[in-house]
Amino acid sequence: MPEKRQMHLGQQLTRAGRWSRAGITSGPAALWLGIFLALPLAAILAISFLTRGEYGGVELPFTFDSYKRLAGFGELGFDSLYPVVLGRSLALGMATAVLCLAAALPLAFFIARLSEKYKGAALTLVVIPFWTNLLIRTYAWQILFSPNRWLTVAAHSLGIGTAGEALYPGTLAVLTGMVCDFLPFMVLPLYASVEKMDWTLAEAAADLGADRWRVFRHALLPQIWPGLGAGFILVFLPATGQFVIPDLLGGAKTAMLGNVIQQQFASSRDWPFGSAIAAVALLLVLVGLAIFQRKGSKHEVLP
């Protein structure tokens, strides 16, 4: 009996068989994504073209008003508020991703070069902050950035901030909080690609005349590009929508994408406008990722 079964597994499946196997293995996930991702996305896209109802719902007719308003051309003439919010959020996401990358790259190389014994411990240390709630971690930064705390004093002695004053609210505080929150998302995928790196390629590049920088650029970077891309996406996407940290460490005065969207669906009850912001944010992010990916797969080709 078991022998016969193995034979069956090895055989070419019929067309119907292949479909039913695909259905069994991938069906649940596809169904899940269909119901909880594709449908809501389609709904958001549809709602963004509808008109706000009298009491908060949505109604016809189809209109581009929400998008016009988002671009700054509202009923009261030009207003740069929303484009600025959008730009600010994307800039925060980008800055967070770049800073995380700068911090994670050396760290990933360092951990990958550790002996097996210490690798596990090092990776645990990277992940440990996750075990604490985000809010608590962010409030902790408020305390550390308070006037006369050792961190604040140390920063002042380095010429950062004004002596006697707190370091938050401020851009520096926001970025610190963001980088600390998102660093593991960058370190882990980067580490995964550094770990399985073929170091002979670095030797080959050096042997062919590449100096240190060009060894990195031509032999190592192409190998960690997938991990780097994954890390960038994992940090950039949520960082763009993040508004708790900017609120708590930035002083709750600056509107971010996340809290503007939240406002539209909650207090303002303007679903079409909220949907439009979400759709545009998603579009911008996708365009950014497409550019990033195109750049990653591009390489020199001899004429």
Partner 1 sequence: MQGERHLEPQKCSVPLAVEVVSLLRQFGSVVALSGVSLEIRKGEFFSLLGPSGCGKTTLLRVIAGLDLPDGGLIRISGRDAAEIPAHRRPVNTVFQSYALFPHLTVSDNIAFGLRMKKIAAAEIVDRVQRVLALMQITELATRKPAQLSGGQKQRVALARALVNEPEVLLLDEPLGALDLQLRRQLQVELHQLQRKLGITFIMVTHDQEEALVMSDRIAVMNGGKIEQLGSAREIYERPRTRFVAQFIGQCNLFKADVRPANNGDILARTELGEFSVSNVSKDPTRPGSFMAIRPEKIQLLGGATCGMKNSFAARIEGFTYCGAETRYRLLAGQQTVNVVVMNREASAVFQPGETVQCLLPAEHLILLDA
Binding residues for partner 1 (CB under 8 A): 198, 200-201, 203-211, 214-215, 218-219, 222, 299-303
Q: Which is nearer to partner 1, 165 or 211 (CB)?
A: 211
Q: Which is nearer to partner 1, 139 or 199 (CB)?
A: 199
Q: Which residue type does 21 have?
A: R
Q: Which is nearer to partner 1, 75 or 300 (CB)?
A: 300
Q: Which is nearer to partner 1, 164 or 222 (CB)?
A: 222
Helix (H) or strand (E) holding 275: helix 271-297
Task: Report, in Å, the least distance between residue 32 CB and partner 1.
Answer: 34
Let me know: does 273 contact 70? Beta carbons within 8 Å. Answer: yes
Q: What is the DSSP letter of 102?
A: H
Closest among 78, 50, 54, 76 to 64, alpha carbons compared: 50
Task: Report, in Å, the least distance between residue 205 CB and partner 1.
Answer: 7
Q: Which is nearer to partner 1, 10 or 303 (CB)?
A: 303
Let me know: does 182 contact 212? Beta carbons within 8 Å. Answer: no
Q: Which is nearer to partner 1, 88 or 218 (CB)?
A: 218
Q: Distance of CA 46 to CAs 28, 86, 137, 161, 275, Å? A: 26, 21, 38, 47, 8
Q: Which is nearer to partner 1, 60 or 302 (CB)?
A: 302
Task: Report, in Å, the least distance between residue 145 CB and partner 1.
Answer: 44
Q: CB 190: neighbour CB atoms within 10 A?
A: 26
Let me know: does 79 contact 85? Beta carbons within 8 Å. Answer: no
Q: Which is nearer to partner 1, 59 or 203 (CB)?
A: 203
Structure tokens given for 5: 């079964």
Structure tokens given for 198: 């073929």
What's phi and psi for 163, nearest 5 deg?
-55, 140
DSSP 73-129: EETTEE--HHHHHHHHHHHHHHHHHHHHHHHHHHHHHHHHTS-HHHHHHHHHHHHGG
Task: Report, in Å, the least distance between residue 110 CB and partner 1.
Answer: 22
Q: Which is nearer to partner 1, 40 or 222 (CB)?
A: 222
Question: Can you tell me which residue has the tokens 């938050």?
Answer: 168
Task: Report, in Å, the least distance between residue 227 CB and partner 1.
Answer: 14
Integer Cα distance of 202 and 220 in angstroms:
7
Task: Report, in Å, the least distance between residue 236 CB and partner 1.
Answer: 23
Q: What is the DSSP letter of 48?
A: T
Task: Report, in Å, the least distance between residue 295 CB and partner 1.
Answer: 13
Task: Report, in Å, the least distance between residue 216 CB and partner 1.
Answer: 13
Let me know: does 165 contact 149? Beta carbons within 8 Å. Answer: no
Let me know: does 92 contact 246? Beta carbons within 8 Å. Answer: yes
Task: Report, in Å, the least distance between residue 286 CB and partner 1.
Answer: 24
Q: What is the DSSP letter of 24?
A: H
